[in-house]
Amino acid sequence: MYPFLLVTHLLAAIAFIGTLFFEVVIWHRARQQLADVSQVTADQAIAVRSRKVLHGVVLLLYGAGIGLAWQYRGALGQPLASSFGLLLSLKILLALSIIGHYLLLAYWLTHACLTTTRASWIRRSILGHMVLIVILAKAMFYWHG
């Protein structure tokens, strides 16, 4: 079961990070070349499609992540006993923070107070969290102490 969870988790992470990378690094600059009306239309179309795709991706990502974390429940029970347990715990905290970001985003959407600045900030913050998670994921297996 572990290899299946690992591959699922990795593929979902690639899809999630790739989507955010596109939105933050590529689309943010490319949209400036469009007329204002076109920007709004394209932003809305991308946002609707991203939400539809990312819901499933996030379920796979977090579901597989929980399954993987279960395999290391001993290390998580004593996170300060090893660098592996500490790094895994930090990775999980960042993943929980991303959930917090999405809850904040949902609040802003339901209360009609999501501005362009807030949307840009939240995407950049989530992408930053994801990059740190990837670094921690690699470090867990190489930094021993």
The predicted-structure confidence for 4-17, as pLDDT tens digits, reads as follows: 999 999 999 999 99
pLDDT for position 95: 97
Is 121 a member of any domain?
Answer: yes
Quick one: what percent of the chain has pLDDT higher than 90? 78
Q: Number of folded domains in the chain?
A: 1
CA-nearest of 24, 5, 50 to 130 is 24
> What is the pTM assigned to this prediction?
0.88
> Residue 32: exposed, middle, or buried by beta-carbon count in 10 A (0-12, 13-18, 19+)?
exposed
Inside any domain, residue 40 = yes
Query: In this structure, is residue 145 part of a structural domain?
Result: no
Domain that holds residue 98: 2-140
> How far is it, in rounded angstroms, from Cα 100 to Cα 24?
19
Helix axes 2-21, 116-140, angle to 10 degrees: 150
* Geometric angle at alpha carbon 5, from 132 and 135, rounded to 5°: 15
List pLDDT tens digits, range 68-96: 999 999 999 999 999 999 999 999 999 99
CA distance 21 to 135: 16
Write the DSSP symbol of residue 23. Answer: I
Give the number of other CB atoms < 10 A from CB of residue 103: 10
Q: Distance between CA 143 and CA 141 in Å, rounded?
A: 6
Q: Which residues contact 56 (CB under 8 A, 6 or more apart)?
A: none
